[in-house]
Amino acid sequence: NYKYESNIAQRVLRPRPSQVVKVALDGSGRPKAVEVIDASGYKALGFSIGSDSVIRYNMYSSPRGNACTLELVFRYQARMPYAPIHEVMEGRNERIKRFYAQVWFENSEDGERLINQTGYKAMHYGKEIAIERDDVSTFCSAVGSLSSRYVVPWSCNGAHAPLDYAMRVFWPALCKCLMTRTCDGDLTRLVHLSNSFRMLPGARGLHTGQVASSSARITSVRDSDAGRSVTVQGVVSVNGMAAIEVDSAFLFRGQAPDFEKNFTHTREKPIHLSLDSRSMVALLKAKEWFVLKPGFGSHVRVGSILRFSLESQCRFRSATAYAHIVSFGSVHAQGRCGEWEHVGDVDYESGAAHRNGAI
């Protein structure tokens, strides 16, 4: 399949004030390489064509003070009567990720080593960050949070940090997820959709003086007509204790569907089941995936109320059909005083299917 695009060179080579263009010629006097120096004397662009008609096109940026290189590769097809320059798509996403590894990470090798990593269960970790007053103030200015409670110490524990400061801590682990082959897509076409935060039980929020760290994993990759949507979920920990759960969603625009790469890892909402008849009890106990703990058979009887706390891992073979399903978790029965007692577990696995038989 082919898709025609406007020639990127025509846009980036548009003349600008004080720009310097250097052209290198081969032995026959034909151009073989071009460099573009911007007004500040910085090399902004360079491209060359080899004897094999492969064009290597490099754009440079320096967000961290060091030159970061985005390499695109094209091939000149002289026999083509129209649009003779074809982009080499093999390895394109990986080349773009190498550029973002230089931009996002202090040490680009931290990102580059993840580019070929597969495995949707992989967990990624960010380094520990000390929450400092100046850093919180800079963050608040950037996002427009002007409350004095974020800069004025409220107690001996220091000043508050806004809840979305969790993204500042979460960012390194999030970027590691986006670098992996599991999250296969063109990062130049990545659109951020949403962030959500949930305070975990016992957490008191973020404030200066704390040391925070993060962990993250990809929990969903789904293809649709709009592109490939990716969800990353993780936890921000404070002084070693889990404090804030973060969900961040993205869309790779225009990504061609590849359902074999689609999966979801979902923590299901608790399911409450009231056993109102003997037939319901018999049907539940007959399920191979329902595993009662030894000695707890009497807890599953007519009138019992069960709570299923499950997680599901699903892979897909089409937009609506599953290729593989695994659901697992615990089952608790409600006692006479309202307490919940662990009476069994769920261990469900299925091949190709259109629904999750455990849910």
Tens of pLDDT, residues 197-217? 999 998 888 888 889 999 999
Q: Give 230-253 pLDDT, tens digit per residue.
A: 999 999 999 889 999 999 999 999
134 by Cβ neighbours in 10 Å (0-12 / 13-18 / 19+) ranks as exposed
Phi, psi of 146 (to 5 degrees): -105, 10
The pLDDT > 70 percentage for the chain reads: 96
Quote the mean pLDDT of the chain.
89
pTM: 0.84
For the segment 37-60, the average pLDDT, to the nearest whole number, is 90
Q: Which residues make Cβ contacts (< 8 Å) with residue 74, sequence separation at least 6? A: 54, 55, 57, 85, 86, 87, 88
pLDDT score of 184 more than 60: yes
Q: Is the pLDDT of residue 155 over 60?
A: no
The confidence band for 284, taking pLDDT boundaries of 50, 70 and 90, is: very high
Supply 295's token pair.
């000695």
HSE value, Cβ hemisphere, 13 Å, CA-based, for 276: 3
- Cα–Cα distances in angstroms (integers) from residue 348 to residues 45, 82, 224, 271, 318, in the given order: 55, 56, 27, 15, 21
Q: How far is CA 295 from CA 94, 272, 337, 342, 343, in A?
A: 55, 22, 20, 12, 9
* Residue owning tokens 């003997």: 278
Q: What is the mean pLDDT of residues 105-116?
A: 88
Distance between CA atoms of residues 135 and 120, nearest Å: 33
For residue 103, what pLDDT band results from cuts at 50, 70 and 90?
Answer: very high
116 pLDDT more than 90: no
**How much is the pLDDT for 2?**
63
pLDDT band of residue 269 (cuts 50, 70, 90) is very high
Read off the pLDDT band of 283 (50, 70, 90): very high
Q: Give the pLDDT score at 229.
A: 95
Taking residues 277-301, report their average pLDDT: 91
pLDDT recorded at residue 242? 93
| Tens-place pLDDT, residues 160-169 | 888 889 999 9
- Joined tokens for residue 168: 């500042």
